Structure 1
Amino acid sequence: MSVPDVEGAVAAAFSEEWGQVVATLIRVTGDWDLAEECAQDAFAQALDRWRRDGIPRRPGAWLTTTARNRALDVLRREAVGAAKLREVAVLGRDEGSYDPEYDGDDSGVQDDRLRLVFTCCHPALPIEARVALTLRTLAGLTTAEIARAFLVPEATMAQRLVRAKKKIRNAGIPYRVPPAHLLPERTTGVLGVVYLLFNEGYAATSGAELVRTNLCAEAIRLARVLAHLMPDEPEVLGLLALLLLHDARRGTRVDAAGELVTLEEQDRTAWDRAEVDEGADLLETALRRGRPGPYQIQAAIAACHTTALTAEETDWADIAALYGELERFVPSAVVRLNRAVAVGMAQHPDAGLELVAGLERSGDLADYHLLPATRADLLRRSGRTAEAALAYEHALELVENAAERRFLERRLAECRSA
């Protein structure tokens, strides 16, 4: 079998199986670092073994078994004891996603990945650590990717992850979905995990591809499980609605050549109408609960876009108002930047530019490429192409994703030739 075929199969398996392998190993060993180390070793072995023996029929089972065997070897060398070895041996009875002989919690949720999410989101951990740890262990994002998602230095994020794992170990935080009466206190952190997981898939912070489909699918899968688990929580329904409304447009965000396509240029007839309809229904159900929250508001913003038959029919005034409401719940610079875009589209680019200028003076988004990119787009729309070109140049100094870089380069060329 050729090297490219095997490398592609291993990459696909990583996207689909990493979280399951790590989550299962954490359950049976209780050692987060060992689980990640053994999973990494299994994927490394796959590159050689699959080239020699062929790609297995069930890659996930092969990877889980290989990682289990590696864990057994490590535990034997460290003489952890027969009890721990018996725990690891449980994997030998079922190499799938659920061990029917395991009864570690009373939630009825038979999914190690969801157990992992709730463990990471224990209230004893700071909210940033909860989200970051789950993105690292469940989705396999690198420390650098998570750091960019949080707009913090990589070294800071690395220390945050180390401290979170140590806290789980020292505090004896259980690996389980909590009982129903404890679910509400975990909801915010869990929803934040799923939201950032989807965001990283929908607009990758780095790499050649803008969209990482596997992360989007994993986030939606987890959101559906949460909605089933907590059907009366409007923010859970709001989050699922938000993800579906965004995901409905995913296939039109890049063209056949992998180039970014802006929202106003996307083929709206190619949007997934089933996802749009499901998202709209979920949003309506959530809003009827009478307890608005940030995910419901963001879903309402997404609905404004997906229900407009053409870009020109988009109700930007309504979107600007919704962003103003969102800022009450999430007083962040990124929300203010999005509101600046909406104001610029609803009124005049100069109105948006005034808000952008305030953000620039604050310095809150100094390293965020979308700040100068937004300024550039508003300047371009107002006909100030020379100034727009300078702003695009600044954005290009900060952008990490290859597809976004090529888009900004195209816009820069347009401004220079105007």
Structure 2
Amino acid sequence: MDHVETLECTLCGAEYDPDQVIYTCPNHPGVKGILDVTYDYDAVVDRFDEPLDGDIRSQWKYRAFLPVADDSEPVTLGEGGTPLLETPRLGTELGVDLRVKDDGRNPTGVLKDRATSISVTKAGEFGREVVTCASTGNAAASLAGFAARGGLDCRLFVPGDAPEGKLAQPLVYGADVLGVEGSYDEAYDLSMEVTERFGWYNRNAAVNPFQVEGKRTVGHELAEQTRGDVPDWLVFSMGDGCTIAGGWKGFREFHDLGFVDEAPRMLGVQAEGASAIHDTFHDHDDVDDVADTVADSISVGRPRNTVKACSALEESGGESVLVSDEEILAAESLLGRTEGIYAEPAGATPVAGLRKAREAGVVEAGDSVVVVVTGNGLKDTESAMRAGGEVDAISPEIDDVVDRYPDEA
């Protein structure tokens, strides 16, 4: 990997060899010393010969930017290449020029597939036969699917309140799914302990330095898809902070290399019940590490990638907002009925955040905005039913239909 320089600690700047398995900088307690992959961009550009013409069939169009060995065979299910949709009705509702990047169309239904493809490919490079992670459901399903694709064993740690719909996927993919009697953070800590004891390759958000690198490709794609019409704002939900960090890093790279003329501001959105990154960004003295929100995918009390997430907000001149569970479910319904986009609660959270930012005057009327939907609504049908309402029961007689729609009969 001559295009990859180092793994650099985001806290102290210590550098480590990218050809070894290392998760965090040992100079800091716990998992605080998150590592960032640095590149020789001259070497990257020399390797990159793809036209930026909007034809994106998968994230592997950007292989030259990814931290994989030249002789690696990627473990892929066709992730990436998701559409950027014009959404005029929703834009009118929110008072902005709006487009939606629908990453719920990835192979297992989540943006996380971009990262998982890299992790499982790296597991093969390092000769590991077992992969693991902690997850509220989406990362578990993603890792299980890609592990099956790559012929690896998969061991997953999920909190006891993970949605059943999300657990069905990894079970079908053949993973060992271990329900931890505790929170996501407790499942996360256990998975890290197990990783050290057994030597399994860990996909966990933030602590695997290659994870965010896969998520950069959503930024690369957005830069390519918006060339000549770069939005004022990119809107992401935030849990551990990896997605907004990766999206910003990817877009910033294309801007710094001159592939696009402008870079957007980042708007990060968290649930009121899981607000640690927002609290840190706004210098709140009391950062609440308890997570309780309907948006389980971002229900993180102790985010591991706060430093990178806050850096993305600061570097881009961005902002963060909080939204309630009620606002999230309302946004899920609004997104579905105005544009036919079916998002899980975390995927709809950016829409709720955009409305909140408009009301606060952070995003101005007429601004150009791209919202990134990170997960498909099929992931959490129970929440979808709360958002969408009840089924109306009628008899099998036409009179019941006429009574319901008398002006159309």
TM-score > 0.5, shorter chain as reference: no
Pick 1 or 2: higher relative contact order, CA cutoff 8 A, min separation 6: 2
Q: Which has the higher helix share?
A: 1
Give the TM-score, by structure 1 length: 0.29
